[in-house]
Amino acid sequence: MIYLIHIMVFAFEAYIAWQFQSSLFQEKKERSRITYFAVYLGGFTLAMCAFLSKITWLNLLVLFLVHFLIAMYFYHGTISKLLLLTLIQISFMALGEMLVAVYGNHFYQISNGKDTLLSYAFHAIGSKLLYWFIIRILLICIKGTRDKRNFGNTSNFYEYGLCLVPLGSIIIFGSVLDVLWLTEVSFWQEARIVLCAAVLVCMNVLIFWIYDRHQQMMIDINNLQLRLQGEEADNKYYHMLNKQNEDMRILRHDIKNHLLAIKGYIVEGKTHDGEIYIDELLQSKGLLTPKRWCKDPLLNTIIQRYYDICRAHAVNFSADIRLNSTEFLQPMDVVAIFGNLLDNASSAASMCEDGYVEIDCRVDEKKHESHIQIINTCSQDPVSDGKGQWSTTKQDKGKHGYGLKSVENAITHYNGFLKTFYQQNDKTFHVFIILHIITGGGSYSEYCDM
């Protein structure tokens, strides 16, 4: 019968772990519930075996490993993040055990080693219910505010530092449990233990809450920066539109004078002079037809814009956009990818002597992929921010530095890859993107990891 209680308790613990982890983390892959059930149950069966050894520290260690390894297997997250949240989870579990053990002393003879079925059931079920209750409160508090997207893909030192709090709590809980197993304590001693436990719980809850809020704030800041960037892009667009309208207004205003001048040449019989005049007029800005770079009108406009910017800065600009290489992209993604990359490329190349920007978009029909490559010259070596990204060189850092993040966000819609590298020998910066071509109703291609 006691083993039945063991099994029920550990199954319940597996369920709580699953609930907690699936609420906090993003799954790596879509898997069936049976897979999750089987792995969690298998892991907690191991934990149960460790529990049966009646060595507290071994029990805690195995529980920690089971939680941590299952989280690593199923969910996205850096090691430091998974470590911190797993330790917090274990600390709440240990707290439940400790509090029940303290009060269990009064009513049942646990500390004397006389385990009755009832005492065991009280201890096991009571501690798990308390643990579950704490976890539920936490999840309810963060419900609605949680963005499960894994922010950042490198471990942070401060997350490792925060681990000391739950780790310390677990050590304290484990030590107190060991003491409670061996000795009886007075009422006031119990009260002090409960108070300390409450303080430790509050500290862990606070750590969890602060960490969660911090993660959410970073995401909000990121979104705000992207919005600011978007507003700046809108601003530039309206300025450009205004300038175009201005050019057309000037041309319309002058057209009468031009026509009179041409009439004058015809009347005087100076047809050759008239031809030269008309040729010059045809080359004027207001009448020049923009070059057609590709089939997509939106992308065409973006490329034409950066072509004009590069030309103004004496930067050599070339674009080779092959058929069907970009037509499947959603308009917002076209703007995010090409707008940001060309903005960075043209800014960098404009600071070079004999600078150039090259875009190449091709289709690999066999793999059903689109390959986008943008190369630009640099006047100085780009600076890495130490987290696998590049630092912005633009002055107003508050508004910039989010271009590549925006591109990364866009390419996730196509199960894409982004690779950036710098070639020292010819001082060129390369951005290379692989995208899976979506056909039909806009569903993502079902590939392995590509």
Give the footprint of another protein on this chain (CB under 8 A).
Answer: 289, 291-295, 316, 318, 320-323, 354, 356, 358, 360, 362, 366-367, 371, 373, 417, 419, 421, 430, 432, 434, 447-450
Residue 296 CB, nearest distance to another protein (Å)? 10
- In the complex, the smallest distance separating the C-beta of residue 154 from another protein, rounded to whole angstroms, is 13
d(CA 235, CA 240): 9
Min dist CB 440 to another protein, Å, is 19
Asked if residue 76 lies in contact with residue 50, where contact means CB atoms within 8 angstroms, the answer is: no
Shortest spacing between CB 362 and another protein, in angstroms: 6
Nearer CB in complex with another protein: 207/435: 435
Q: How near is the Cβ of 320 to another protein at its closest, in Å?
A: 6
The candidate with the shortest Cα–Cα distance to 346, out of 392, 306, 374, 403, is 306
Helix (H, G, I), strand (E, B) or coil at 200: helix
Contact assessment for residue 433 and residue 417, using Cβ atoms and an 8 Å cutoff: yes
Q: How far is the CB of 432 from another protein (least distance, A)?
A: 4
Tokens encoding 372: 């986008």
Nearer to another protein, 77 or 274 (CB): 77
Closer residue to another protein, CB minimum distance, 175 or 324? 324
C-alpha separations of 117 from 9, 48, 126, 181, 431 in Å? 14, 17, 13, 17, 66
Identity at 101, one-letter amino acid code: A
In the complex with another protein, the residue whose CB is nearer, 128 or 436, is: 436
CB atoms < 10 A from the CB of 410, how many? 24
Q: Tell me the pairing of strands 417-423 and 428-436.
A: antiparallel
Nearer of residues 146 and 430 to another protein, judged by Cβ: 430
Would you give the distance in Å from CA 349 to the centre of its chain?
A: 29
CA distance 96 to 130: 5
Residue among 386, 314, 364, 370 nearest 337 (CA): 370
Of 126 and 382, CB closest to another protein: 382
Please state at what angle helix 56-74 crosses helix 33-52, rounded to 10 degrees: 170
- Estimate to the nearest angstrom the gap between the alpha carbon of 267 and the chain centroid: 71
Quote the least distance from Cβ 425 to another protein, whole Å.
Answer: 11
Token pair for 389: 């990204």
The distance of closest approach from Cβ of residue 221 to another protein in the complex, given in angstroms and rounded to an integer, is 28
Q: Least distance (Å) from another protein to the CB of residue 418?
A: 9
What's the rounded Cα separation, in Å, for the pair 272 and 90? Answer: 91
Q: Is 350 helix (H, G, I), strand (E, B) or coil?
A: coil
Tell me if residue 382 falls in helix, strand or coil.
coil
Closer CB to another protein, 183 or 318, in the complex: 318
Please, which residue, 84 or 299, has the CB nearer to another protein? 299
Buried b (16+ CB within 10 A) or exposed e, 243-280: eeeeeeeeeeeeeeeeeeebeebeeeeeeeebeebeee
Nearer Cβ to another protein, position 78 or 222?
78
